[in-house]
A and B are shown apart, each in its own frame.
Chain A
Amino acid sequence: MKKAAQSEAPAAEFARSLVLTPAQDWGGWLLGKAGRAGLLLITGTSVLAVLLIFVFIIREALPFFRARGLGEALGETEWYPTHQPAEFGMLAMLFGSLYVTAGALILAVPTGLLTAVVLSDIVPFRVRQTVKPIIEILAAIPSVAYGFFAVLVLAPWMQKNLGLSTGTNALNSSVMLAIMAIPTIVSVAEDSLWAAGSDLREASYACGATRAETLLKVVIPAAHSGVIAAIVLGMMRALGETMLVWMASGNATHIPTPWWDLTQSVRTMTATIAGELQETPVGSIHRHALFAVGLMLLSFSFLLNLLTEHLLRRSKRVAGGTKR
């Protein structure tokens, strides 16, 4: 009772609110309101940017779909934009994009996840603090530098040592894309593994599980949303990569036969846009076709993005312990 009385005493002293009412400090009030409104306006830029991107890509792509329809774009593999009559089958390059991306993921997912596991669970904190920046540097190297390496170092090496007819092929791009996707996978996966918390781990160890069992059977399943999000983000990185695949994939518009032969040249959607955009005149059907390819890429990345957002929100909820 005595304590309560003590705490009430100051409260009585400040009975009147210390915060100034708008009438007392109209200048400050106005400034605050104006600042808020201004911020909201500037914040709108990002929303506007996204809208503008969609509007302008669709606007430029529409004439193509009007003239040729979706059927030709997705039903045929022949891409001969400069022939008479021109053909705009996008299937081969769609396949090429998915092909190198899949090749990259096969290499990058195990490596990336294992690295995330190492950083979150195996090495001490101090080592983690030094290894993480190294992986970040891998993410920071410009894609054109990776492409440069792929063309001038890796491709001749492959040609010489693996006996291939050309060094710029799907294998080359897949390996390089894997290296580029690994940092994304590592950082997102490691975050979610870290967020899974020590309770789970300690409980598992207490049951007598080894570290490998704990990680594989408890931690990773618990953090699966985040891990999947990491893989999807890595996939987005590989799918949207331009300069590297343009330089290293060989740019041959065909579906490899047999399909598993990674040493053949392929061509991706991004590389097609990059390679042909400069040569097309404004308003030509060829340019509209390239924007249609761009629209496809944009929709892919938008959908994958919504997916990762959903996954990451769920992983946060799991970590926060408010799982439904």
Chain B
Amino acid sequence: MRIGPRLWLDRLFTALSLMAVLMIVVALIAILLPMLWRGSSAVVFRGTVEFRRMQLEQHGRGDSDDVRAEVEQAARIRQGAYDLLEQFAIVVDPSGMEKRARQIHREFGKQLEHRGVPEDQAAELQSLSKRLRGELLAAFEATEGPEALTHVQTVLAHAGDMRLAGTVAAQYFELAGRYKNALANVDLGRRAEYGVLFRQVQEALRDLLGPPPGSPLPAIIKDQYGATRWDQATRHMERLLWVEKWLPSRPGELLQKVRVPMEQEFRGTVLTKLFPYVREHVGDMLQPRWTCYWQFFFDDSMSSHYFGGVGPEILGTVLVTALAIAFALPVGVATAAYLVECAGDTRPTRVLRTCVNTLAGVPSIVFGLFGLAFFVIYLLPKLGLREGSSILAGASTLALLVLPVIIRASEEAIRTVPRAYKEAALALGASRFRCFVTVTLPAAMPGILTGLILSMSRAAGETAPILCTAAVAMGPVPTSLMQPTRTLSYSSYDMAVGDKMAMLAPHNQFGMVMTLVAIVLLLNIVAIVIRGRISRKLRGQ
């Protein structure tokens, strides 16, 4: 081939190769960045007054006077929105007023009895009250505006009746008045249509501001608070202000998804005032402020990860990992020592090496199977311990998994100790055992440490081996090594695919995996730094 094309091909090859490296780096960034960035928003975010209220009520954190003052200030502004909602609710869902009207009638009867009104007069008043109640109920049930208005007018015509003044029955007129006012702004014919949308508005407002004043305290902690974070608040605002509809863009064409302002749907009613009000005052209602929720790494989670942090998960991961390393490290270092110091290239050594390599190549889920069959079902019950998954069983399984990592790293470390060290020790009359313990091992320590750290990161991140041996998605913080535990790795899995509640709190989903990745990255960076030092030292710089 001529030289020109050959050079071009050479350059093409170089460019392709560099592109491959670039692709890997880009992949690394594309994977790590979203997890770390979105995960960090679990810790640093704009917390609202609801968040501070939650922290105060659930954990006793923060200055209670300050928080109370803030809550009250917010409540005053929120009241405006609730009032508007109330006015509209009367028309769309008058069941509360119906109940009240019936109640008034009963109370009126009792009141008459109590006051000792003569019987014939009482009967007359009773029947009047019954008629008024009937009219009111008819007004509430009416589907046409004018019809409802007639019924209301009938009730109001009795407003001047002196016999009813000062009694419970006077409240009929108040109800009628309120209903009349509300009627003025609403097209009763669209009541059913409003119903669905109005529920959406109510729900969005409930999610935004928490349970409305006067309603009973919900049992689930999640429902006791509104949007605790500003990003959450904006999502709820979206649901409050916009509605998605399937509409034909032109008559006769395919339906298309269109975002319609909620305001437009309630055109001509009192509710139109609600949307601009909320939009303008949402900042005052929630009072967002930048918050660093460092307790995220220590708190237990509440309402299945909707609130709270990853404390128990970190604890479980640390426990399982530490125990696994404690099992694997002595065995690993001893094996490495034997391989380097005692054994040449003999048949037993080769078998041993093959075994270590096999162990390194066993898929992690097979370790899980083995851990279940051997530790959980066979060995631990034989030793008189509780059957079932436990930290001990999981750690033992993980110990086997990281054993080859430790062996290889330690072997490498012991092998690279300069011969001169050893020879000097032996020349001074030290026995081989002594030489190893006092000279070779300390010199190899940084390398062994690197292996240790890397195997820690491996053990912390593995999920498959502990699936059936140690991990649970939900459960109490373990009090002994014979109990299962939550771990960062398994909870990350569970929150990504299994947990419905966690889907509502993506910051906590990402926060969980961010914690895991951050721990692993930190360990690896430490290992890389140590190794860099060793290699510089070995190169004699």
Q: Is the CB of B25 within 8 A of A134?
A: yes
A153 close to chain B: CB less than 8 A: yes
Q: Is the CB of A273 within 8 A of B34?
A: no
**A window 184-215: CB within 8 A of B:** 210-213, 215
Q: Is the CB of A46 within 8 A of B403?
A: yes
**Which of A56, A141, A145, A282 touches B370 (beta carbons < 8 Å)?**
A56
In the complex, A277→B510 CA distance in Å? Answer: 27
Q: Is the CB of A115 within 8 A of B21?
A: yes
Known A-B contacts A274-B467, A297-B363; the reply to A111 vs B331 at CB < 8 A is no
Chain A residue at minimal CB-CB distance from B529: A133
B342 close to chain A: CB less than 8 A: yes
Q: Is the CB of A50 within 8 A of B25?
A: no
- Proximity bits, B365-400, A CB within 8 Å = 1, else 0: 111111011100110000000000000000000001
Q: Which residues of A sit under 8 angstroms from B434, Cβ to Cβ? A: 28
Q: Is the CB of A134 within 8 A of B7?
A: no
**B window 321-364: CB within 8 A of A:** 330-331, 334-335, 337-339, 342, 351-352, 354-359, 361-364
Known A-B contacts A39-B334, A274-B365; the reply to A118 vs B21 at CB < 8 A is yes
Known A-B contacts A211-B14, A302-B358; the reply to A277 vs B369 at CB < 8 A is yes
Q: Which residues of B sit under 8 angstroms from A53, Cβ to Cβ? A: 359, 362, 366-367, 370, 400
**Which of B35, B355, B454 touches A145 (beta carbons < 8 Å)?**
B35
A170 close to chain B: CB less than 8 A: no
A263 close to chain B: CB less than 8 A: no
Q: Is the CB of B464 within 8 A of A274?
A: yes
**Which of A28, A42, A138, A278 touches B28 (beta carbons < 8 Å)?**
A138
- Proximity bits, A23-52, B CB within 8 Å = 1, else 0: 001001001100110111011011101101
**Which of B342, B366, B458, B496 touches A147 (beta carbons < 8 Å)?**
B496
Q: Is the CB of A242 within 8 A of B363?
A: yes
The number of residues on chain B lying at the interface, defined by a beta carbon within 8 Å of a beta carbon of chain A, is 90
Q: Is the CB of B334 within 8 A of A277?
A: no
In the complex, A94→B144 CA distance in Å? Answer: 67
Known A-B contacts A114-B17, A115-B17, A270-B363; the reply to A142 vs B338 at CB < 8 A is no
Q: Is the CB of A243 within 8 A of B464?
A: yes
Please give the distance in Å from A106's CB to the nearest CB on chain B: 14
In the complex, A239→B464 CA distance in Å? Answer: 14
**A window 223-273: CB within 8 A of B:** 236, 239-243, 247, 270, 273
In the complex, A34→B365 CA distance in Å? Answer: 38
Please give the distance in Å from B456's CB to the nearest CB on chain A: 11
Size bracket, chain A contacts: 35 or more
Known A-B contacts A145-B492, A270-B365, A301-B361; the reply to A45 vs B521 at CB < 8 A is no
**A window 56-98: CB within 8 A of B:** 56-57, 59-60
**Which of A38, A50, A129, A211 touches B13 (beta carbons < 8 Å)?**
A211
Q: Is the CB of B358 within 8 A of A122?
A: no
Q: Is the CB of B364 within 8 A of A242?
A: yes
**B window 481-509: CB within 8 A of A:** 489-490, 492-493, 496-497, 506, 509
Q: Which residues of A sit under 8 angstroms from B366, Cβ to Cβ? A: 53, 57, 240, 294, 297-298, 301
Known A-B contacts A133-B528, A294-B365; the reply to A146 vs B6 at CB < 8 A is no
Please give the distance in Å from B153's CB to the nearest CB on chain A: 57
The secondary-structure label for the interface of chain B is helix
In the complex, A129→B355 CA distance in Å? Answer: 31
Chain A residue at minimal CB-CB distance from B521: A137
Please give the distance in Å from A38's CB to the nearest CB on chain B: 8
- Proximity bits, A93-115, B CB within 8 Å = 1, else 0: 00000000000000000111011
Known A-B contacts A52-B374, A142-B460, A212-B10; the reply to A148 vs B20 at CB < 8 A is no
Q: Is the CB of A151 within 8 A of B497?
A: yes
Known A-B contacts A47-B351, A141-B461, A213-B6; the reply to A304 vs B361 at CB < 8 A is yes
Please give the distance in Å from B496's CB to the nearest CB on chain A: 5
Q: Is the CB of A149 within 8 A of B20?
A: no
**A window 272-307: CB within 8 A of B:** 273-274, 277-278, 282, 290-291, 294, 297-298, 301-302, 304-306
Q: Is the CB of B493 within 8 A of A147?
A: yes
Chain B residue at minimal CB-CB distance from A232: B361
Chain A residue at minimal CB-CB distance from B363: A240
- Proximity bits, B154-171, A CB within 8 Å = 1, else 0: 000000000000000000
Please give the distance in Å from A142's CB to the nearest CB on chain B: 3
B31 close to chain A: CB less than 8 A: yes
Q: Is the CB of A135 within 8 A of B24?
A: yes
Chain A residue at minimal CB-CB distance from B462: A142
- Proximity bits, B7-25, A CB within 8 Å = 1, else 0: 1011011101111110111
Chain B residue at minimal CB-CB distance from A216: B13
Of B32, B356, B461, the most chain A CB neighbours within 10 A belong to B461
Closest 10 CB pairs of A and B: A142-B461, A240-B363, A212-B13, A114-B20, A210-B10, A242-B464, A42-B334, A305-B361, A39-B338, A242-B365
User: With contacts A182-B24, A213-B10, A274-B467 known, what are 14 further pairs, Cβ within 8 A?
Assistant: A43-B335, A110-B20, A138-B24, A140-B520, A141-B31, A144-B461, A179-B27, A240-B364, A242-B368, A277-B369, A294-B365, A294-B366, A294-B369, A308-B361
